[in-house]
Amino acid sequence: MIKTILVLASTFFVIHATNYCLRETELNDDQFFDEVHGYFNGRKPQRTVSWFVARFLTPVPSLTKGFLSMSKLAKPIFKTKRTADTAIWPVDVGTMDVLTPNAVEFATLFTSGHFPINHDFTGNFTFLGVATGGLMSFLNEHFKNIKITGIDIDPQSEYLAKKWFGYHDRDNSKILIGDGAEFIIKMAERGETSNAVLIDACHNIEPADGIFCPVEAARTPQFLDSLSKVIGLKGMTTFNVYNHHAKSDSYKRVLSDFSKHFVECKLIENYIGNVRNLM
């Protein structure tokens, strides 16, 4: 009897949902574009061949001070006035903008030769700085055999990642709230290792010295020595490095300082908003 009720309830739900969709007028792509734009204030953009919507994480409630992260949204299959509300669109976690620092950081996993270019390799990855969890979600989507731990000092990071940016915990992926620098130091003290430590620990607003990334705690000799022990001789680490007022020479000085703690150290100049990646 219970099984019959459940089946009937499920059937009713499917029929009800279908009938609801049929009552809505489906829009063509041009009409849907106009409806989507109606949710935003400002000048209507010129539409070309294709278009997409992105969700941004910003330090202030606008893009005037730049953005901390960007994620492409998945368009709804059924295009109506109701589904034109992009607040209900899910993030396309399997897509990454190749021009972002995260993409460069991801690419170094393979261009460095530390990991094979396939989806089946195994390993333990540690993220210092979660932001929206975008890179963690991307790795979860395409690489099922790696264990991922993200640490962020901001308690809101986990909420934002799960509520607005498509991240969800899995058996092999989790977000912890805490001091990432202390986390690495404790790992070293316990003799624990990680195959890759990806560091995107940044200030949300410009600090006095202009160095957004990495934060001071991730530049101390104690932290760098601990990090070197955690990755060992076979692991790797990457840093997003960003100094708002810096010239090329200042990044080379950072490279020189970091090289004292690692067997090999390289500076990748990607020129995306004056950001560099240290590997």
Tell me: the pLDDT tens digits for 125-151?
A: 999 999 899 999 999 999 999 999 999
Q: Which of 202, 231, 212, 218 is nearest to 257 (CA)?
A: 218
Distance separating alpha carbons of residues 155 and 160, to the nearest angstrom? 9
Q: What CATH code would you report for 101-278?
A: 3.40.50.150
- Predicted confidence at residue 9, as pLDDT, reads 46
Distance separating alpha carbons of residues 59 and 147, to the nearest angstrom? 30
- Predicted confidence at residue 190, as pLDDT, reads 98
Each domain of the chain, given as residue ranges in start order, spans: 2-83, 101-278
Distance separating alpha carbons of residues 94 and 225, to the nearest angstrom? 34
- Predicted confidence at residue 13, as pLDDT, reads 46
Q: Which segments of the chain have a pLDDT < 70?
A: 1-22, 41-48, 66, 246-249, 269-279
